[in-house]
Amino acid sequence: MVTLDSILSAPSLSNLFLRFCQEIIFVCWPRNLDFGILASSFCLKMAEEESQEFKLKVNSELRFEVEHKASAEIEMIEGSGEMFGTELAKNKKYAFVSGSKVAIYTWHGCVLKLKGKTEVAYVSTETPMTVYVNTHAALEQMRSKAEEDSTRGPRILVVGPTDVGKSTLCRLLTNYAVRLGRSPVLADIDVGQGNMGLPGTIGALVVERTADIEEGFLNTAPLVFHYGHKSPNDNFQLYNMLVLRLAEIINVRCEQSKKVNSSGVIINTAGWIRGAGYEALKQAAGAFEVDVICVLDQERLYNQLKGDLPDFVKIVLLPKSGGVVERSQAIRADSRDSRIREYFYGLKNNLFPHTFDVKFNDVKIFKIGAPSLPESCLPLGMKSQDSQTKLVPLVPAMSLLHHVLSVSAATTVDHDIVETNVLGFLVVTNVDMDKSVFTVLSPSPRPLPQTILLVMDIQFMDIK
């Protein structure tokens, strides 16, 4: 059971890992990036079903999942309710696309009208919302104290296995903080879903408005770094390096604004919690200098962290919501695809991407990480793990087809490209070796904002 005291007793944090960092460049080429519902947007046909009405008593929630290739609509007719911390307006219809998994919670009771094709729709009175709101209340007291003392607000790492509601809890805690006038930094180091950019990236943004019910947080200027793979395990060295870099820049951002500083940082992590994954979590806790770790639904991880981290880090075990839906590998792959589609086409097909040719000579293409060699073959003093963060120039070839490319903010190759943020993304839709050009899908018309491109492992077929 989480008590307020256990969180409130956290002393304000040390600067153990504070490092210098030179520059902050925020992404300036965003396209409807959100932290919201991942769903394919190609089918928005509202089915002609009759609507169902649900009367929710105090402290209960309506949970529903929208059918594949269908959509659903919810309207609150009476009372008050919220979705993952964002309040619903009365008599306003909210549309949810295929595959959305939604919970509308009410503290005081409400009447909801649900229309459309849902796989399941039911009301539950068993929710962990009281524990979550208590956690928020404790964090809020730490923020007030930080504001009074002009110090740093709470930094919270949300950890746990896959499908326990980590992203949802981050969204809820961020929304509650914003509703009280705070401007927390929301950071996402879960490269599998890439909520700030695309899968294969990590990023952060300062949140000043609650998440939109349908589209999530509106990311007008997220800070995004290219990682290139869908699991932290694929390049552990690079992953840790980028997490550290992200934390450094967040520190600089906090130093620039008293409000952001006292509001704190909320960090969503990947569900990789064993072996190297556990080491990555500890690294992240150190890099962000966290004061609170919320462990969702795993006592083993909770006890491991309690034993391994210093006492000033308060670790709380929180229950998972019974509504959180488990996703298979296939569904995860589908969500990654939807996420990329959404970047180019919008959640409801409301964006129009551009297609144009890029000459091989006009750009420089790199991938990060070279195959590791045995140490005996390396120059004196070099370790094999160094190759993991090495920039490798690529000669354009047919193998680029369908790969996602990040457009680096770096202006020259002398820049530290690996640790520079990215401006946006492209997908290679054709390669013409005879004409030495490749065709890209791009969120904006030519010219490209910069000419240094980084290749991801992740591919996207623009076929729908």
Ligand X SMILES: Nc1ncnc2c1ncn2[C@@H]1O[C@H](COP(=O)(O)OP(=O)(O)OP(=O)(O)O)[C@@H](O)[C@H]1O
Tokens (6 digits) for 197: 């950019």
Residue from 70, 156, 164, 242 touching ligand X (CB under 6 A): that is: 164
Q: How far is the CB of 332 from ligand X (least distance, A)?
A: 7
Tokens (6 digits) for 248: 């450094």
Which residues make up each annotated binding site for ATP? 61, 101, 163-168
Residue from 12, 141, 144, 162 touching ligand X (CB under 6 A): that is: 162
Pick the closest to residue 158 from 278, 250, 289, 292 (CA basis).
292
Which residues make up each annotated binding site? 61, 101, 163-168
Pick the closest to residue 259 from 336, 147, 149, 176 (CA basis).
147
| Interaction between residue 166 and ligand X (CB under 6 A) | yes
Residue nearest to ligand X (CB): 323
55-74 positions binding ligand X, by CB under 6 A: 63
The values of phi and psi at residue 255, to 5°, are -65, -25
Q: DSSP letters of 294-334? A: EEES-HHHHHHHHHHS-TTSEEEEEPPPTTPPP--HHHHHH
Q: How far is the CB of 352 from ligand X (least distance, A)?
A: 27
- Distance between CA atoms of residues 21 and 190, nearest Å: 23
Question: What are all long-range contacts of 89-95, with beta carbons under 8 Å and residues at least 24 apart?
Answer: 94/213, 94/214, 95/44, 95/46, 95/71, 95/214, 95/348
| Interaction between residue 301 and ligand X (CB under 6 A) | no
Let me know how long the chain is: 464
| Interaction between residue 168 and ligand X (CB under 6 A) | yes
Residue from 101, 226, 245, 367 touching ligand X (CB under 6 A): that is: 101
259-298 positions binding ligand X, by CB under 6 A: 271
| Interaction between residue 167 and ligand X (CB under 6 A) | yes
Tokens (6 digits) for 363: 């750009």
| Interaction between residue 190 and ligand X (CB under 6 A) | yes
| Interaction between residue 216 and ligand X (CB under 6 A) | no
| Interaction between residue 212 and ligand X (CB under 6 A) | no
Tokens (6 digits) for 285: 């806790």
- Whether 189 and 324 have beta carbons less than 8 Å apart is answered as no
Q: How far is the CB of 405 from ligand X (least distance, A)?
A: 24
The values of phi and psi at residue 453, to 5°, are -115, 140
Q: Which is nearer to ligand X, 165 or 443 (CB)?
A: 165
- Distance between CA atoms of residues 296 and 163, nearest Å: 10
The footprint of ligand X on this chain (CB under 6 A) covers a number of residues equal to 17
- Distance between CA atoms of residues 319 and 448, nearest Å: 46
Residue from 32, 183, 321, 388 touching ligand X (CB under 6 A): that is: 321
Q: Which stretch binds ligand X (CB under 6 A): 42-50, 161-169, 214-222, 350-358?
A: 161-169
Residue from 43, 325, 351, 391 touching ligand X (CB under 6 A): that is: 325
Q: Which is nearer to ligand X, 109 or 271 (CB)?
A: 271
Q: Which stretch binds ligand X (CB under 6 A): 66-74, 157-165, 205-213, 346-354?
A: 157-165
| Interaction between residue 103 and ligand X (CB under 6 A) | yes
Binding site for ligand X (CB under 6 A): 63, 101, 103, 162-168, 190, 193, 271, 321, 323-325
